[in-house]
Chain A
């Protein structure tokens, strides 16, 4: 197992290297002069020269990359022009919010999704299955920003039940925090529940048709035991892949919900950085998202290997 994890980490480092190159080249891809792009056209020659040197634009591309990446691995992404702060300090403020919401949504959607999926598979063809499947199919198709706007209209504007924007940590003000998180969390979670439910249902149905389930029945085991011991462990293997994708997607795709509800997370930060063409900030955000995606992939593979004894590690 140790060897397997080391191997996967090695592969991930290669992937991250390639990603970092692309992120770095972003500066060269952007049209126009990077200094003007960052600071606007109305700056003095002095400021221009200072930033020109600060960004290392006088050096060849490879040296620029090396100096950027060597700083980046120590956590130094330089100064954010739009925030007038160290990039790291900006991230430290924003990232925990996104991670908090994403993980919360993730851990709510998994058990519910699996539960609904199993209920639906076991009652295949009956009314309960039809209702659950229809719901799951509809919810899968609804984009987050649509849901956000719908909820906002319904609960804030029409019913005045929930605050329409903002974010505070639960330890700062529990009640306010709860009220503010309900809607964004709902938007983030519904799609997850629906897609996990669909996947669980279909893989459960496939497993229920397998010979070893017939064997389990021929042993006279109780229905619950067959489903939760014999079928579920097999059926969850494809669901694990989906969970990994979900988690990566939640963090990388946080901008929609965060923008609508005006939550100061990484999503809104990235949107803002792009609008301001704040290159160091964009680079840091994108790299961070890439790292998260890679880490999630490694965790997925490890969980995979732990659940399925057929995977040789």
Chain B
């Protein structure tokens, strides 16, 4: 046996309506001691199910149909043992530890964290209760949980999401496993926390010579942390190679297209994203030929006549599953490079300001007792000041809890701000009553984050889009209304023939198009996009970004684009506003902000974003930021960032720095520049 773990030909099926649906269709991979391997793929590509199959954690109605799993030191194929057998249980948690995606729900809420870790140690290492407790505390210290002895008796809900994921790491590592599987372990966390955690996993793994499998959809993470990568598509591995080869010399059409579809931090201003058209196949209807065929730009008619391609050696440790020869791929590549692309849509930023926000403040009262006495205030946002020009896109970034959404709701006037001006085309709407607001409502629209829950499941697509037309009485006759709805459908790239369908009959990307059509229906001047693409797959994201850009060029609408993905924000925005704990810390031109960040928080944020380029990643220093975003309930005195800032001085602890213009409209709130 050559490798620590050898997995061959895993086929995992789920029974759906009496039919077998293959979620994993023959996946093989291997792992050596101490190496970090990345498994990337979009949702539904079968990457998690593959890992669950190895551990025999796939629950009914799913089952592993065939395949072998050999772990160094075990004689038999692990899949021959029963899922609940003593052997399998000693492998799970003992030799292979696993961390899951949702830190909020992955720990048992009614048991203390100490108990949960201790239990794992006592199961797998030959230790009594006292020894196990000592080891638990040692593990908690290793993952940098402060006051580990006292925290032993805490319940999971007394920790933040980042802390809980540290506890999960401590638990998974507590029985000295040979392999750690991190299944989207940092997806739900903020970028700075994500970077800290992955850094921690890497250093612990290297110290203890533990092999790590990073399962993720984020190409940046694997570029930064993985040494070898498996790219999965529709239940199969389509390409595998060393990290550098995957990013620099990718062979498989899917990998190549994926890299063309994602925005990067170091993109030039006018880069166009080339989306992968279409959708990943439904596993129930997957064809016998290459599953990527329908979306492949390189495809030849012969591809559809042959079976599914197997992985074949294309270079040193580099395998790709494609029927096309290198020469065919190269020729096609030249062809693709030479096909005229739609140029990046021309922006037209006017000089008039559509939105001026000045000193906006919103506090929420904290109430207690039967009488709902006010005992304090949550200072959600303070002194928010910025303006937005016609046809401009302002990106808004910041970690969760920084007040992005509160700000958006104040501008939408869902909330009435305590103080400040919100001038819309010169009229202050901040304190207007509902009646007075009526004419302005239709001119600010919103696109929401979750295309699944933000559409009424019982309303037809047509009536979702028509609703605001009816409310605003902007159409006189039924025919006009129908024509307008058809127009909007065509505008966002949906077939007007789909008008009578209900939301669940659309895919995620289509639903978000529907959300955009709804926002456009009232012909607004400003659209607030609240994380419009974060629920979508990478290959779909590019379609939506491109659509938003085209619409802006066509209609001259202004966007407030709220997102936590900095690469996306940079790609789409003209200017970017950075928020931290309810305050604006920096506003600058997008290119300038990324080239020359001034505020220490912006700097840290940019450094924390993993980029899909191993060269860029190598040049980066370790994460320069420690700690987590403090709760908004006890915001630090002075500059909100001072206790995480390495450059903080005495003054920062006492005074709040004001936002100041440092030339060219680059505004920053930091004493370093004053």
Contacts and interface: CB of A to CB of B under 8 A. Distances in A.
Query: Does A pair with B?
Result: yes
Interface of A: 210-212, 214-223, 225, 229-230, 233-234, 307-310
B105 A220 contact: no
B463 to A, nearest CB: 34
B56 to A, nearest CB: 9
Given A211-B102, A217-B57, A234 B123 contact: no
A218 B107 contact: no
B274 interface: no
A221 B155 contact: no
Given A219-B120, A219-B171, A229 B92 contact: no
A116 to B, nearest CB: 22
Contacts of A214: 57, 100, 106
A218 B92 CA distance: 5
Nearest to B124: A220
B110 A215 contact: no
B189 to A, nearest CB: 16
B105 A210 contact: yes
30 contacts: A211-B105, A211-B106, A212-B105, A212-B106, A212-B107, A214-B100, A215-B171, A216-B108, A217-B92, A218-B55, A218-B57, A218-B92, A218-B98, A219-B92, A219-B119, A219-B120, A220-B88, A220-B92, A221-B89, A221-B93, A221-B123, A222-B84, A222-B89, A230-B111, A234-B108, A234-B109, A309-B110, A309-B155, A309-B157, A310-B110
Contacts of A217: 57, 92
Given A212-B107, A219-B120, A308-B110, 13 more contacts: A210-B105, A211-B100, A214-B57, A214-B100, A215-B107, A216-B108, A218-B55, A218-B57, A220-B93, A222-B89, A223-B84, A225-B119, A230-B111
B91 interface: yes
Nearest to B115: A229
B100 A310 contact: no
Contacts of A210: 105
Contacts of A220: 88-94, 123-124
B110 A233 contact: yes
B98 A229 contact: no
Contacts of A219: 92-93, 119-120, 123, 171
A309 B168 CA distance: 19
B81 to A, nearest CB: 12
A312 to B, nearest CB: 10
B369 to A, nearest CB: 10
A220 B121 CA distance: 11
Nearest to B174: A219
Interface of B: 55, 57, 84, 88-94, 97-98, 100, 102, 105-111, 119-120, 123-124, 155, 157, 168, 171
A222 B83 CA distance: 11
B6 to A, nearest CB: 21
A221 B119 contact: yes
A310 B157 contact: yes
Contacts of A216: 108
Contacts of B110: 233-234, 307-310
Nearest to A234: B110
A126 to B, nearest CB: 11
Contacts of B105: 210-212
Nearest to B101: A211
Contacts of A212: 105-109
Nearest to B370: A11
B480 to A, nearest CB: 49
A229 B111 contact: yes
A229 B168 CA distance: 18
Contacts of B93: 218-221
A225 B90 CA distance: 14
B89 A215 contact: no
B17 to A, nearest CB: 16
A210 B109 CA distance: 11
A123 to B, nearest CB: 12
Question: Looking at A220, A309, A310, which has the most chain B CB atoms within 10 Å of its CB?
Answer: A220
Closest 6 pairs (CB-CB, A-B): A219-B93, A220-B93, A220-B89, A220-B92, A211-B105, A212-B108
A220 B85 CA distance: 9
Contacts of A222: 84, 89
A308 B168 CA distance: 21
A217 B109 CA distance: 16
A219 B116 CA distance: 10
Contacts of B100: 211, 214-215, 218
A215 B108 contact: yes
Contacts of B123: 219-221
Nearest to B369: A7
Nearest to A208: B59
Nearest to B158: A309
Contacts of B97: 218
A221 B110 CA distance: 17
Given A210-B105, A212-B105, A219-B120, A233 B98 contact: no
Contacts of A218: 55, 57, 92-93, 97-98, 100
Contacts of A233: 110-111
Nearest to B97: A218
A7 to B, nearest CB: 9
A259 B97 CA distance: 62
Contacts of A234: 108-110
Nearest to B56: A217
B111 A310 contact: no
B73 to A, nearest CB: 16
Contacts of A309: 109-110, 155, 157
A212 B104 CA distance: 9
A219 B95 CA distance: 10
A216 B108 CA distance: 9
A214 B49 CA distance: 13
